[in-house]
Amino acid sequence: MESRKRKGIVIFMIVGIDLGTTNSLVAYFDKDKATIIPNRLGEHLTPSVVAIDEKDTILVGKTAKEYGMLHPDRVVQVFKRTMGTDKRYKIGDREFVSEELSALILKSLKEDAQEYLGQPVTEAVISVPAYFNEKRRKATKHAGELAGLKVERIISEPTAAAVAYGLYEKEKNTRFLVFDLGGGTFDVSILELFQNILEVRAVAGDNYLGGEDFTEVLIRYFLKKTDISLEELTPLELKKLSFVAENAKKGFSDAETVTMEYTFRGELKTVDVSTNTYEKLCSDLFDKIRTPVQRSLSDAHIKLSDIDQVVLVGGGTKLPIVRTFITKLFKQFPNAHINPDEAVALGAAIQAAMKERKEAVKEVILTDVCSFTLGTEVSVEKENGMYESGHFLPIIERNTIIPVSHTERVYTIYDNQTRICINVLQGESRFARNNLLLGELEIELPKNKAGMEAVDVTYTYDVNSLLEVEAKVVSTGEKKKTIIKGKENELTYEEMEERMKELSYLKVSPREQEENKWLLLRGDRMYEESTGEERIMIGMWLRDFEKKLDTGDRNIIIDARKELKSKLEELENW
């Protein structure tokens, strides 16, 4: 791999990372452009998949994905959907939260970047879905820290994509809608360019909608057509069927009709799916897509006709039926001149360059918005004069441009009340209990009659997702403030180091052996899927390759690896 280390000088570079649901990427900015850094297999996309083999060795990316085809109980994926929650994933007899699994992906990307650049990588700008709440954003930041990265900034994916497309270099004032359909999440953001300010006007989305759902549609259709129930399938059989469905989905890029072939317990099952049929099967998913689009337009107070350009981001937008839907919905052809899979990582790298104030990057002010409303819990007076607690008072409304500072005044509700507790909440429900509790702040008051003492509550929110809460007693001027960092998933550096020590029993697969291991796993999977002479032939190829590995001769192994890879690809594409 080419080294980017300057002779005699070690330069610490900030990289940009797209930590995706399905795939993750890392990029850097050098000279006058952003560039994707290839992983240890020489590819741009690293599947967001983690596995642990029987020897307690961590497998990440494509190797883990291939291993999971044979051992579905020892692999996990799509864990980004539960980032910031307490959900635990079991791999063998080990348990992880999504934050820790993401740290393993980030650690792998960091190692790839260091190998490629020939220098230490200790800092990163990491992207998150625009619709990630405070808890999810902080969990992402902690995942980076667990991986040994100083996370300089969390940037919203649509904003990163807008930067990658060079929207900030447009000469006239323009409104853009970024349509981001990734593997597991969907975001729609409306941005407006004014001089050198790129302003996010509104965001909306669905954390449980993405390309994986379009694959799931094909799985359900196949099972229906072949009279196989989902309950009949073992985890391994479902994994293999998912692989077939994923390949069929990709096939729509080249053909109007795709054929799904799957051998179910010795019997070959075949189902043809046309583009028209697939489009109808996905109608419910398209309805789910419309909702965030309509919400973002409403929050931005604009109409569809006011959008000057639609920008595509995320692998899901490569599907022909999705592009057709977008063209019909917006009545214009979308912009996709940058690979949708890579736009966010490239934008994050440019943002990192902006932070480093590199001369090649035009200085631009990036504004963002609050994805969710921030407020506090209050009591509301009822008709009988009694007070009912548990109501939500918005202080900073969703899609308010940040940085921002808003103040609301609250009053005592009973005589001689000596304190007020400010519960800091995030969400859209009118009931406090349904919103996310970020933290709390308590302030003391002088005794007085009900309603005679008041507290001004000020929320100040910045682009780094830091929320400052200040409470000021109006009568005395006494102030109390705090920076809300959240209680959940908040680890000190000492706790992070301790957790990494706990994980040290796991061995990481060496970089130089990664491609060999992946190739053997691919061969094993194809061997299991084959029958007859084809299976015998694959077995011979694998045994021959293993003999070459035993020689320990690097040149012999490289030649053998190229030969086996070529044979397997030819057979799989036959």
Active-site positions read 18, 80, 157, 180
CA-CA distance, 516 to 511, in Å (whole number)? 10
Helix (H) or strand (E) holding 145: helix 134-146
Q: Among 151, 104, 86, 87, which Cα is nearest to 125's?
A: 151
Q: Return d(Cα 467, Cα 458) in angstroms, integer.
A: 10
The encoded tokens of residue 572 equal: 């799989």
Q: Is 209 helix (H, G, I), strand (E, B) or coil?
A: coil
Pairing of strands 23-30, 14-18: antiparallel
- Residues 554 and 556: their CA atoms lie apart, in Å, by 6
Question: By C-alpha distance, which of 56, 73, 82, 64 is closest to 23?
Answer: 64
Whose structure tokens read 């995706």?
20
Q: Calculate the CA 29 to chain-centre distance.
A: 21
Question: Coil, helix or strand for 349?
Answer: helix
Q: Give which of 136, 21, 131 is closest to 86, Cα–Cα.
A: 136
Q: What's the rounded Cα separation, in Å, for the pair 547 and 373?
A: 62
- What distance in Å separates the CA atoms of residue 352 and residue 347, rounded to the nearest whole number? 9
Q: Are 463 and 366 in contact (CB under 8 A)?
A: yes
How far is the C-alpha of 503 from the C-alpha of 517, rounded, in Å? 22
Closest CA to 175 of 158, 157, 198: 198
